[in-house]
Chain A
């Protein structure tokens, strides 16, 4: 077992884990942050995307021990108390989800897109950037609309990811 410490959603956390523990297992099972989902467990679907030191990564494809000392943001870290993050609000507003299983990963990826590419995003860019996120329900159409609107809202002085 290895003792690890990191900052998750602004809070210092630590735990004793086996080296083979994946970041997503540490988040869900040790920290009980079950917002991050495991869709495929084969690095394909993006349901498990979180931010590690500001970069979107698939938490099913990273070891928890590799995150020692890192800053991690999960879907739980976006809202400000009961006030949704603008990207979350846009997904609700634009029906960017049906079953909701892919949504945490979609939103974490969307926030990362805005962080990298700015708040004015065209449809083509959004579709290309969502390449690593699979949704079995929506047909993507409303997800793309939600990301575009969420990006604009973030640009219009909406808050940044609460914990970043």
Chain B
């Protein structure tokens, strides 16, 4: 790892002004993506701005019909929170599938959405649940937040502060893990709010997380795994690598979507 200067702001405002002052500086949240990347020298930020001492960034609360999760809230906290378990059990289950226990003890929701790894789990949950990403500057709907591979709508100097999830009637996530990395080979998050049905796919899209509208339309007719019978997703625009071909991943999308619908109905 190359040397860098280290800053521990106490407020989001201080963090933002440190980001503005330190060109190419980066926010450090749980460090579970950033530190390995820096150790491999794939990133060499001259300054790290550690959010761990910023007051009020970690926590989970119900606000009206929304579940609001602070950016520095750890995956382990979301996975075991009674509030999340009651409000959106599928979200707690999803958090419990991220990486391994030690990764979940450090990694944060804010880091995960800001990083937008094409195989990460939170982007699928945010997109399917119609979450809003709240930053120090504005509120961005998930549909506009995840813009491409490791790309988001975040501007320089913008800090994710919290993520608000509307409470839905049914939601679940099904993940086919890559057994080595534990990231999603394909992960499908399904959510139903009244007649609105959203299906988000991670791990598969060559351009990152996306909504599978064909599956959404089929599920609108009837919210049942049977509605997905016979639907094959096209392999165009789907990732292929040493782990799986585009055709295999495309096939997995429908399989995982069915599992997610089955799980959602059971909740």
Q: Which residues of B contact A113 (CB under 8 A)?
A: 101
Q: Which residues of A contact B1 (CB under 8 A)?
A: 20
Given contacts A43-B32, A63-B31, contact A19 B102 (CB under 8 A): no
Q: With an 8 A cutoff between CB atoms, is B39 at the interface?
A: yes
Among A41, A62, A63, A131, point to the contact of B100 (Cβ < 8 A): A131
Among B4, B40, B106, point to the contact of A62 (Cβ < 8 A): B106
Establish whether residues A57 and B105, one from each chain, have CB atoms under 8 Å apart when the complex forms.
Answer: yes
Establish whether residues B3 and A55, one from each chain, have CB atoms under 8 Å apart when the complex forms.
Answer: no
Establish whether residues A55 and B100, one from each chain, have CB atoms under 8 Å apart when the complex forms.
Answer: no
Q: With an 8 A cutoff between CB atoms, is B136 at the interface?
A: no
Q: Which residues of A contact B156 (CB under 8 A)?
A: none
Q: With an 8 A cutoff between CB atoms, is B52 at the interface?
A: yes
Identity of the chain B residue whose Cβ is nearest the Cβ of A54 in the assembled complex: B105
Give bound CA distance, A109 to B100, whole Å: 11
> Which of B35, B101, B106 is the most central at the interface, judged by chain A CB atoms within 10 Å of its CB?
B101
Q: Which residues of A contact B52 (CB under 8 A)?
A: 66
Secondary structure at the B interface, as helix, strand, loop or mixed, is mixed
Give bound CA distance, A10 to B81, whole Å: 30
Q: With an 8 A cutoff between CB atoms, is B6 at the interface?
A: yes
Give bound CA distance, A22 to B3, whole Å: 12
Q: With an 8 A cutoff between CB atoms, is B50 at the interface?
A: yes
Establish whether residues A19 and B100, one from each chain, have CB atoms under 8 Å apart when the complex forms.
Answer: no
Establish whether residues B6 and A63, one from each chain, have CB atoms under 8 Å apart when the complex forms.
Answer: yes
Give bound CA distance, A57 to B104, whole Å: 9
Give bound CA distance, A113 to B76, whole Å: 13
Given contacts A19-B48, A42-B39, A66-B31, contact A58 B4 (CB under 8 A): no
The minimal Cβ–Cβ distance linking A154 to chain B, given in whole angstroms, is 17
Q: Which residues of A contact B3 (CB under 8 A)?
A: 18-20
Among B2, B40, B102, point to the contact of A56 (Cβ < 8 A): B102
Establish whether residues A58 and B5, one from each chain, have CB atoms under 8 Å apart when the complex forms.
Answer: no
The minimal Cβ–Cβ distance linking B73 to chain A, given in whole angstroms, is 14
Q: With an 8 A cutoff between CB atoms, is A90 at the interface?
A: no
State which size class the interface on A falls in: 20 to 34
Q: With an 8 A cutoff between CB atoms, is A49 at the interface?
A: yes
Q: Which residues of A contact B182 (CB under 8 A)?
A: 131
Give bound CA distance, A49 to B101, whole Å: 11
Q: With an 8 A cutoff between CB atoms, is A61 at the interface?
A: yes
Establish whether residues A43 and B105, one from each chain, have CB atoms under 8 Å apart when the complex forms.
Answer: no
Q: Which residues of B contact A46 (CB under 8 A)?
A: 100, 102
Q: Which residues of B contact A56 (CB under 8 A)?
A: 101-102, 105
Among B5, B32, B50, B101, point to the contact of A131 (Cβ < 8 A): B101
Q: Which residues of B contact A2 (CB under 8 A)?
A: 6
Question: Which 10 A-B residue pairings sit nearest by Cβ, starting from the closest?
Answer: A132-B100, A19-B6, A131-B100, A55-B105, A20-B1, A43-B36, A58-B102, A56-B102, A132-B102, A61-B35
**Sample (22) of A-B pairs whose CB atoms are under 8 Å apart:** A18-B3, A19-B3, A19-B5, A19-B48, A20-B4, A22-B35, A42-B39, A46-B102, A49-B102, A56-B102, A58-B106, A61-B31, A62-B31, A62-B35, A62-B106, A63-B50, A65-B6, A65-B50, A109-B101, A109-B102, A112-B101, A129-B101
Q: Which residues of A line the B interface, CB within 8 A?
A: 2, 18-20, 22, 41-43, 46, 49, 55-58, 61-63, 65-66, 109, 112-113, 129, 131-133
Told that A20-B4, A132-B103 touch, could you supply 11 new A-B pairs with CB distance under 8 A?
A19-B48, A22-B35, A41-B39, A42-B36, A42-B40, A58-B103, A61-B35, A63-B31, A66-B52, A112-B101, A113-B101
